[in-house]
Amino acid sequence: MNKKSPTYVGTREAAEFLQLSQKTLHRYRISGEGPVFHKFGRRVRYAQSDLEDWAATRRRTSTCDDGSVLAGAAR
């Protein structure tokens, strides 16, 4: 078994990686529009791969692109 363990980061590190404020990331957690997260006891942690995946879904080709252009291209 050569499976690599995921790298987890806290809210501060996740916000820095995504270039968002911690407050925005917290708001996204409540609304469900942010990256998936893990709860270990009372601690919120994000897997680095989940942050990268979520960021990839935010790609756009123009300011009027709703995200369906790239989603359609992947098919």
CA distance 35 to 51: 6
CA distance 68 to 51: 20
Query: Tell me, what's the pLDDT at 6?
Result: 82
CATH number of 8-62: 1.10.1660
Q: Is the pLDDT of residue 72 over 80?
A: no
Q: Show me where the domains of the chain are located.
A: 8-62
Q: Is the pLDDT of residue 33 over 50?
A: yes
Q: Please answer whether residues 49 and 59 qualify as being in contact, where contact means their C-beta atoms are separated by less than 8 angstroms.
A: no
φ, ψ for residue 21 (rounded to 5)? -80, 155
Q: Is the pLDDT of residue 55 over 60?
A: yes
